[in-house]
Structure 1
């Protein structure tokens, strides 16, 4: 469907178009916000807050350091490998202001994965937490890294608090393995040297179509590839996300109030979802992000958000589940909570219902891809969200569903979802064949690999990934549907479905279950499935586990489960 298909169908206050002429470069977006909101709080981490003006000052100093104390030139790649701490936005904005291309790097990467990403991107510099410095030491000789800047957890906090927290992390919690990187520069030293060097040179990448971020993808589907995201891609998606947040309620007031509201940021900033929301859209609107360094530590998470009256909450299904199960979460102040966004992985109906019952705020599920910077669709808020869908196309985006021959299917029919819009990536870094394979033959539409249905109102329902689809006796079975049904069982905390070979039906469904009640049985789960879905969808095999393999942002790694099953089959005697 063309962009105009969604005209007039969006929630009140959400425009049908965005204006791409306002900014040419992401640095212009960032610097404009720094000037307009200089006195407002921008980011809070570990109980300490930096204003927009301070972020401006520190990132300018970091840019000056990179320009005056390193051999880096505009267009060189710099990797940033940190959790959600105050140093992250400083390093990110500083690197972009210095004209560098940022390689967002997962802090939980293994040495093998780090080596691949640093070498594939051609990174010449790295900013990392001391927690990962041992791994950097082990692989540095095999990379092209020329400059390494190391920071500690509390480096941006005042002296006493900084000293205590960093010492506790290193000596009490033993979070920092011993390492030797004599050439490394401390982050605070870099800031000091940069401040002494005077104003940084205005040398950022201005071309709207130039790559400024390499965002690696493929963690759930294979070898990681670097999606080239341009100034235009990121600005477009920022404006699209911002447009969705201008929705009006029944009284004609913005659902998300203007003027520096507090939004919690538990998803890692290196992830494009969190990057676009917190470092661009909300920053551009003058809002205040509460950074959560380790969302898996639910006790600390709840402790960090308790002092705040939050207006918005950005998360995903697994995160919502862990918070709902925490005894103290219900004691948080939800009186100003107006918006909860979910993305990154499928939202379960049961989770959405429980969240609304506890917080009084519905969850607006969105859908996106790294290759789309990432937002493609988003649900409205304020009670207009449609459970079971991922919302409507964000302004300026065209969508269509196609069959196996590439023909567009009718409204209401299943097909592979394809996307066209200003947020779609330039391509994969140094991978022309992979780039060509990801687009339709005419190069106009990005193929998502996801099976979807678009209804008459323009709402999109993601059925499943094409590669994850299970073929049982010729019938298509979608793991998401099975998981959504099973997750409603009161004794199920989490689950994942995959296909396994079956002599009779070609494939059969195997279900992995993390139970919240140790008394639940295999037969009880299968009986529940028989009551709620047709026979060929009922899992042939059910296996209980204490946990499921997941990416750092909570996506279940079905591929790892499939690999385990394959290894078991290969180990069986002939």
Structure 2
């Protein structure tokens, strides 16, 4: 495993070996690996010859899964810049914080969402804004048609303006006129500032180095083994590339091996998503529990051609047994659940393709050490629940400009405290019990929301479920469920009776609330925190009356 290469070395290897292979397809247009080489060089040239950016400066990229994403990201890295992946769904407050915290000097943004940036960019250090429209890399006719429909018929492009704005197409035209110079950065230098989801407190930038990202790419490739063949794979990419999980799979692992990704710009549009898969013989699929469920509820999904599908990866949130079993029944493909986090670039563990254990997140990827500790940091034996700690070449350098926060999670020996409660089995497989902060304590007994949700999700009338703890006079806390119905006839009594049949009494929910939908992050992870905050506000309001 060669982890002392830079990301640029990885890209160069792909360009020299697989130039003619398709790399990314989106909205009916495909760019080859050679196209990515040529176009990213043009973008690097623009950055080097027409801006004041220097190697090490930060550039924020606020794009969904469109063809411009790999071109911009690879070009920025070729110019020696540090990538700041930026969520297109950010509010003004969130975007302003990330731009100021990272000190980004430039920004690339999709026109469809540029109004948010235009409202705050003058209050940040951003000196140049590059605006792109959704089909800017398509052929002239298609570009005119798709961009015109988005702007004038569907009214998807809001009004915005920047004092320091240039169009992506103009930037690329300027970049094509002058040569660029690839900037080789050291393995230990930061390549990506990947901000944590911000589900607790202020979002922090995890400093991911060249070595971190290249190491995790190699670890994932080794974990997947022969199931990721060079130049033969066609993976569906519904998860956002600005999320480190999808970035590592599609922009690192697959690209480095000459493989092809189908970019899905809006996976929330399930009918449109399924339509884009028709006629495609894809070999791999990276998703998460809520996305799998949403697809399987669409009648047309079952009619797709799954004959070539041999790898389905799940991460980002817990995979329920029911979802995994139904996916396998419908597609003929076993789901390989793994575990990771932003701070680990992201993959820590993965289920081996030949030895899947449902309900676990597999075994550590090569070169990774894991252990569990108690509240005082003491090592615990196998089969004892404790906080999972990780050490390996994929562990971040630290949090950007936050030494205190770094010291809280990363010790002098390189062990990262994940904040997740886990059990390491005798066979080395890891079972995530739950997020430490999400644990519910009922009369002194620990109740893990993942377990409750796993049970309830097997009920045929339940589409989605989230469990939280709410205050209770007698037991300290009790379990409350939020349920999205798959069948309108489902009642609270039926849910509780089902839980009583399948769980110990203290784990049985005392309250059930039905919802049309549940709050989720941009990658589909259910936000228990928002549900807890709503409950606390209700309690506070009741007390003040």
Shorter-chain TM band? over 0.9
Q: What is the match of residue 314 of structure 1?
A: 286
Give the superposition deviation at 1:132: 1.6
1:386 aligns with 2:357: yes
For the residue of structure 2 that corresponds to 1:49, the secondary structure is strand
Alignment of 1:412-451 (within 5 A): 412-440=383-411, 442-451=412-421
For the residue of structure 1 that corresponds to 2:120, the secondary structure is helix
For the residue of structure 2 that corresponds to 1:327, the secondary structure is coil
Distance 1:196 1:481 in 2: 59
Distance 1:137 1:255 in 2: 44
8 Å contact from structure 2 (residues 36, 70) kept in 1: yes
For the residue of structure 2 that corresponds to 1:495, the secondary structure is strand
Which has the bigger relative contact order, CA under 8 A and spacing at least 6? 1
8 Å contact from structure 2 (residues 390, 418) kept in 1: yes
**Which whole-Å deviations, capped at 9, do the CAs of 1:154-209 have from their partners, x for residues lacking one?**
11110111111111111121111111225311111111110111x201224x2111
Give the superposition deviation at 1:279: 0.3
Give the superposition deviation at 1:556: 0.8
Unpaired segments of 5 or more residues in structure 2? none
- Within the candidate set 187, 212, 224, 2:203 is matched to 224
8 Å contact from structure 1 (residues 41, 260) kept in 2: no
Give the superposition deviation at 1:222: 2.2
Distance 2:353 2:365 in 1: 14
8 Å contact from structure 1 (residues 228, 426) kept in 2: yes
Give the superposition deviation at 1:443: 4.3
1:564 aligns with 2:528: no
Distance 2:197 2:241 in 1: 18
For the residue of structure 2 that corresponds to 1:167, the secondary structure is helix
Q: What is the match of residue 183 of structure 1?
A: 164
For the residue of structure 2 that corresponds to 1:417, the secondary structure is strand
Distance 2:413 2:483 in 1: 41
Runs of 4+ more than 4 Å apart: none
- Within the candidate set 476, 493, 504, 2:463 is matched to 493
For the residue of structure 1 that corresponds to 2:227, the secondary structure is coil
Unpaired segments of 5 or more residues in structure 1? 1-17, 247-253
- Within the candidate set 429, 449, 459, 1:479 is matched to 449
**Which whole-Å deviations, capped at 9, do the CAs of 1:346-405 have from their partners, x for residues lacking one?**
0011110010001100000010010000000001125x2110000000000000011112
Give the superposition deviation at 1:220: 2.1
Give the superposition deviation at 1:236: 0.4
**Which whole-Å deviations, capped at 9, do the CAs of 1:221-259 have from their partners, x for residues lacking one?**
22100000000000100000111121xxxxxxx333332
Distance 2:97 2:78 in 1: 26
- Within the candidate set 46, 56, 63, 2:44 is matched to 63
For the residue of structure 1 that corresponds to 2:201, the secondary structure is coil
Alignment of 1:29-44 (within 5 A): 29-44=10-25
8 Å contact from structure 1 (residues 276, 373) kept in 2: yes
8 Å contact from structure 2 (residues 315, 339) kept in 1: yes
8 Å contact from structure 2 (residues 398, 410) kept in 1: no
For the residue of structure 2 that corresponds to 1:572, the secondary structure is helix
- Within the candidate set 425, 428, 438, 1:455 is matched to 425
- Within the candidate set 74, 94, 105, 2:55 is matched to 74
**Which whole-Å deviations, capped at 9, do the CAs of 1:487-538 have from their partners, x for residues lacking one?**
0011110011111110100111111111111111101100100100000001
Which segment is superposed worse, 218-227 or 261-270?
A: 218-227
Q: What is the match of residue 511 of structure 2?
A: 541
Q: What is the match of residue 182 of structure 2?
A: 202
8 Å contact from structure 1 (residues 219, 551) kept in 2: no
Q: What is the match of residue 251 of structure 1?
A: none
Which segment is superposed worse, 86-95 or 327-336?
A: 327-336
Q: What is the match of residue 220 of structure 2?
A: 241
Q: What is the match of residue 305 of structure 1?
A: 277
Distance 1:66 1:93 in 2: 12
Taking structure 2 as the reference length, the TM-score comes to: 0.98
Distance 1:164 1:122 in 2: 37
**Which whole-Å deviations, capped at 9, do the CAs of 1:386-438 have from their partners, x for residues lacking one?**
10000000000000011112111111111110000000000000001100001
Q: What is the match of residue 118 of structure 2?
A: 137
How many residue pairs are counted as aligned between the two chains? 544
